[in-house]
């Protein structure tokens, strides 16, 4: 039986489910096709949320072992990994169930199975509970997300050689975990297992970790993680892996070529980036344009080259972040409703949820130099922040970059406690086209970590008070 919708969204992740909810709020008859059996996509099921749950638990365990005593709290912590994993699973279940509730509340049809675009205006479901269902619709929004990029020569089995999905489920703490890729996933999940007792070796192809971040931050970040016991092999490429009963033997060589070396570990996490997931959608048959990496090409209104077919989230260009996907979900629904919304891609924050956290928004110094723009730098270390002192959280700094002439804030980079929360002050400033003077003149409560943001803004004109 065929039904007619205003919009059918394929994919129930942060991009897709938000698009569906906003479309329904705007009065459109909406369906969302999801094949995972759960709503929430990568983010809620095997990404943002489970990783943050484990980061929080492992941080508490580590603190109980190493920090409580300095506060005069004497404990003998013991790890119950099963309980930790069960807690994570419960959080995920609660949140994915919450999205299902929101779908019901907004009268969105949740169609379980794999969506296939037969033609513009027609989506069929080829697997799952609703197999055989054909949906006719005025508009199709593709929000099918991304998947882990494979590394040739390493066969992922999600037990010994794993992607992030397997690394969220180890039932024993690995003795030695090799992390291939010193990016966001590698450093977050590497931190989790290091805190729980594993030896962790991060193997990165380039000469620094988190290579897209401001260089100064990435250097401090690596130094801080090294102090915590993570080991790094930079400028190194993994060329093969041999599995044995006891684990895996990795073969590596310098990225520029040279002598081969081996590393024996019991688990390997492959996290060298993610690529769009558009399998089985039928895009080639209907001629939806993608680039060499499979990224769906869209115009400024998220329209593909085919009328009536739109795409958002990880499967289109831009940072692969849940909040970017969500914002695009809102915007595409509003565009389909005839509104004229807009996203400022210069004001999308990025956060790495390690200890300390690392957060940024806008331009890095490297990018400003590349563009030949004149800029001023203001910096303030958490070592000189009283709340950071009181909390024993003095690693890191705030750095603000402002236009040399107009003082307009162009970027901010924070490594330190609660960096992921503090960055939003600068996101808002950038969104409003504000200056470092605006931040410097804003009253910040004392004692807070955020005072370091104000002091960094004062330092743009070299008048910070506490250094």
- Give the residue numbers of the binding site for NAD(+): 181-188, 204, 273
From 180, 332, 426, 457, residue interacting with ligand NAI (rule: CB under 6 A): 180
- 273 Cβ contact partners less than 8 Å away, ≥ 6 residues apart: 149, 181, 183
Q: Under the criterion CB under 6 A, does residue 164 sit at the interface with ligand FAD?
A: yes
Residue count, binding to ligand FAD (CB under 6 A)? 36
Shortest distance (Å) from residue 183 CB to ligand NAI? 2
Which residue, 10 or 414, is less far from ligand FAD as judged by CB? Answer: 10
Q: Name which of 19, 4, 10, 7 is nearest 99 in CA terms.
A: 19
Q: Under the criterion CB under 6 A, does residue 326 sit at the interface with ligand NAI?
A: no
Could you tell me whether strands 267-270 and 30-34 are parallel, antiparallel, or unpaired per DSSP bridges? unpaired
Query: Which one of 131-139, 269-277, 336-344, 363-371 is the stretch in contact with ligand NAI (CB under 6 A)?
Result: 269-277
Active-site residue (options: 301, 342, 446, 466): 446
Q: Under the criterion CB under 6 A, does residue 190 sit at the interface with ligand NAI?
A: no
Query: Which one of 190-198, 274-282, 288-296, 336-344 is the stretch in contact with ligand FAD (CB under 6 A)?
Result: 274-282
Residues in the chain: 467
* Residue of closest CB approach to ligand NAI: 183
**CA 327 – CA 182 distance, rounded (Å):** 27
Query: Which one of 57-65, 89-97, 228-236, 317-325 is the stretch in contact with ligand FAD (CB under 6 A)?
Result: 317-325
From 65, 219, 277, 408, residue interacting with ligand FAD (rule: CB under 6 A): 277
Radius of gyration of the chain from its Cα atoms, rounded to whole angstroms = 24
CB 178 within 8 A of CB 248: yes
What are the Cα distances from residue 411, in Å, to 93, 347, 361, 457?
37, 9, 5, 11
Helix-helix angle 215-227:184-195, to 10 degrees: 20
What are the Cα distances from residue 179, in Å, to 164, 204, 205, 222?
10, 8, 12, 14
From 34, 334, 395, 425, residue interacting with ligand FAD (rule: CB under 6 A): 34
Whether residue 356 has a cis bond before it, omega within 30° of 0:
yes
Q: Under the criterion CB under 6 A, does residue 298 sit at the interface with ligand FAD?
A: no
Residue 186 interface partner, choices ligand FAD, ligand NAI, none, CB cut-off 5-8 Å depending on type: ligand NAI
CB hemisphere CA count around 250 (13 angstroms): 29
Contact string (CB under 6 A) for ligand FAD, positions 178-217, x = contact: -------x--------------------------------
153: Cα separation from own chain's centroid: 26
Residues interacting with ligand NAI, by CB under 6 A? 151, 180-186, 188, 203-206, 211, 237-238, 271-274, 319-321, 350-353
């Amino acid at each position: 039986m065929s039904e007619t919708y205003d919009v059918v969204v394929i994919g129930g992740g942060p991009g897709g489910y938000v698009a569906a909810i906003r479309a329904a709020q705007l009065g459109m008859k909406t369906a969302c096709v999801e094949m995972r059996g759960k709503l929430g996509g990568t983010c809620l099921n095997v990404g943002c949320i489970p990783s943050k749950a484990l980061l929080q638990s492992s941080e508490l365990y580590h603190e109980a072992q190493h920090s409580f005593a300095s506060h005069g709290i004497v404990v003998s912590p013991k790890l119950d990994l099963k309980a930790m994993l069960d807690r994570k699973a419960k959080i995920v279940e609660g949140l994915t169930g919450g999205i299902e509730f929101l779908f019901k509340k907004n009268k969105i049809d949740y169609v379980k199975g794999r969506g296939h675009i037969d033609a513009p205006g027609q989506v069929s479901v080829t697997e799952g509970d609703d197999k055989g269902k054909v949906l006719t619709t005025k508009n199709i929004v593709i929000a099918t997300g991304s998947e882990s990029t494979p590394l040739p020569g390493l066969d992922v089995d999600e037990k010994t050689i794993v992607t992030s999905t397997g690394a969220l489920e180890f039932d024993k703490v690995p003795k030695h975990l090799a992390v291939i890729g010193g990016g966001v996933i590698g450093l977050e999940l590497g931190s989790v297992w290091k805190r729980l007792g594993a030896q962790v070796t991060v193997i990165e192809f380039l000469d620094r970790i988190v290579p897209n971040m401001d260089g100064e931050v990435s250097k401090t970040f690596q130094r801080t993680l090294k102090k915590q016991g993570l080991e790094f092999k930079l400028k190194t490429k993994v060329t093969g892996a041999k599995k044995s009963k006891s684990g895996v033997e990795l073969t590596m060589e310098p990225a520029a070529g040279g002598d081969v070396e081996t590393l024996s570990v019991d688990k390997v996490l492959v996290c060298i980036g993610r690529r769009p997931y558009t399998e089985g959608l039928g895009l080639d048959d209907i001629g939806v344009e993608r680039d060499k990496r499979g990224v769906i090409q869209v115009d400024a209104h998220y329209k593909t080259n085919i009328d009536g077919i739109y795409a958002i989230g990880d499967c289109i260009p831009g940072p692969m972040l849940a909040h970017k996907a969500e914002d695009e979900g809102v915007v595409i629904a509003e565009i389909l409703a005839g509104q004229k919304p807009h996203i400022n891609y210069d004001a999308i924050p990025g956060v790495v949820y390690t200890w300390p956290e690392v957060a940024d928004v806008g331009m890095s110094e490297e990018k400003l130099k590349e563009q030949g723009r004149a800029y001023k730098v203001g910096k303030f270390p958490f070592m000189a922040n009283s709340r950071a002192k009181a909390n024993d959280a003095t690693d890191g700094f705030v750095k603000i970059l402002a236009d040399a002439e107009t003082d307009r804030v162009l970027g901010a980079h924070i490594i330190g406690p609660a960096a992921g929360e503090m960055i939003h002050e600068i996101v808002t400033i950038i969104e409003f086209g504000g200056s470092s003077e605006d931040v410097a003149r804003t009253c910040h409560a004392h004692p807070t970590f955020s005072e370091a943001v104000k002091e960094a803004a004062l330092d743009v004109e070299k008048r910070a008070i506490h250094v």
